[in-house]
Amino acid sequence: MIKNPILKGFNPDPSIIRVGSDYYIATSTFEWFPGVQIHHSKDLVNWKLVARPLNRVSQLDMRGNPDSCGVWAPCLSYNDGVFYLVYSNVRSFDGICKDTPNYLVTTTDILGDWSEPIYLSSRGFDGSLFHEPKGKKWYLNMLVDHRKGKFFGGIEMQEYCPAQQMLVGDVYYLTEGSSLGLSEGPHIFFKDGFYYMIMAEGGTEYGHAMTIARSSSIYGPYEMHPNNPLVSSRNHPDNELQKAGHGDIFQTQHGDWYAVFLIGRPISKLGKCTLGRETAIEEVIWENQWPYLKQGGCVPRTYIPTPNLKLQPFKKEEDMIRFNILELPIDFQSLRIPVSEEWCSLQARPGYLRLYGKESLASQFQQSLIARRVQDFHVEVTTAIVFQSQNLQQMAGLVFYYNTDHSHYACITANYDGSENHLSIFSANNGESSSQEELIDVTGQEKIYLKGIMHLEDLQFYYSFDNRTYQKLGELLDASILSDDHVRDGSDRYRPAFTGSFVGMCCQDLAQNKNYADFEWFEYKALPLK
């Protein structure tokens, strides 16, 4: 059986293609760099992260981008030997109007370098490229309509000219969507004389849905599916997979049809999803030239039958990463900026990852932070750190992070003049900070081991001086603040919150941006859920 989700942890807005017998899914990365995750599979059961194509500032400049802005809803497509990737780099979202530039990059090798970006449009976000059988290429997006607070203005389309590398001709308004509203994430595919438009609707929370419409002309009018939504968990609060919507439909090489879509797994009924929005899959059949979920209804299942494809599992990754390596493993990302020797080095001290202290965890410009997704409800994460804080504005340690306003940070820091070093915990929650300071005196300790165990909504830090005996560090913490749901519920105004919890290593030098911490290894271990 396939067990959903197929992409665990923060992996939303899936766009899928098949090239021969290879399947690739692109998902959103928001403010995390490099941009866009691409997973590969040959059997739809086993998936491996293989690429992040937006790995240069010339392709993706996110310095100063607000939380949960950046790369939204990429669209991956393939035509005549070329891979195409459309993506948004959302620059602002708080005002009446939004700044949502969209770009296109291409490559002939999905694992290689991608082109410099071609600017497309800023009319909306969730851009998508459709390669018409007749040869034209069409760019779709949702329209941002600021009038009278409407925001979601429907779906529109314009031709893309590869020769001129730009959008050309008239803009065609296609549909305002179904009665669910909040129409976004459009994708078009062609089958048996009909153009089918997939949309994400109902908002990306517990009312989310994946809907579909069709037309015999690409210009419309589009007729809504008689049983929309195609996929949704709305009105089914007891289902394990919630928030189902925003997805794509594809066909295997044997003629079977499937849908991929985002879901969330709350830690309580309609509660908080600390792992973020993930990617799931379902079987699709066709009746009267309309797609339906094979099992009936619209609610996704946790287990679905294995497809008619030979199983090809990948080698299991090691839990512990020792930094006697030449480059960081692909699981790690940075915030808004690329990794560079200026702040992150595997060469400065052989066998260690050196992070030079930069700005605070509240910065939207230059943090010195390397982290990976939390992908399990019960995890144990440990690191070994060598660091001497020289004053109260220098710190380094282990952080569980959601965004600049939500984190739990166990770190080494100092008193005013650096004569004493201590272990402290700093937490941020909806702009308010709290701390458990000077918990343990570590003055003169050469190496310190920090551990965090996250179990559902609970997080407990630990420390050790020998990596054998660990003691609790501070009080039990609320890990549920590291979720989209908490960020929205705890705010007096709507703020975008679309990512998930990360865990990683970081270093700050708020005085001079030059002190550094050396990390010997990092271990992420999934534990059985109690």
Active site (catalytic) residues: 13, 184
Asked if residue 502 lies in contact with residue 524, where contact means CB atoms within 8 angstroms, the answer is: no
Sign, CA torsion 429/433/434/436? positive
Return the closest-CA partner of residue 206 out of 178, 237, 240, 231. Answer: 237
Question: Smallest Cα–Cα separation from 19: which of 93, 107, 124?
Answer: 107
Q: Point out which residues pair with 32 in neighbouring strands.
A: 335
Residues 225-242: b if buried by 16+ CB within 10 A, e if exposed: beebbbbbbbeeeebebb
What is the distance of C-alpha 71 from the center of its chain? 9
Strand order through the sheet with 37-41: 15-19, 22-27, 37-41, 48-51
Structure-token match 């792992």, residue found: 275
In a 10 Å sphere around its CB, with 0-12 CB exposed, 13-18 middle and 19+ buried, how is residue 223 labelled?
middle
Handedness of CA 54, 154, 201, 292 (dihedral sign): negative
For residues 503 and 524, the answer to whether their CB atoms sit within 8 Å is yes
Amino acid (one-letter) located at 298 = C
CB atoms near residue 146 (< 10 Å): 12
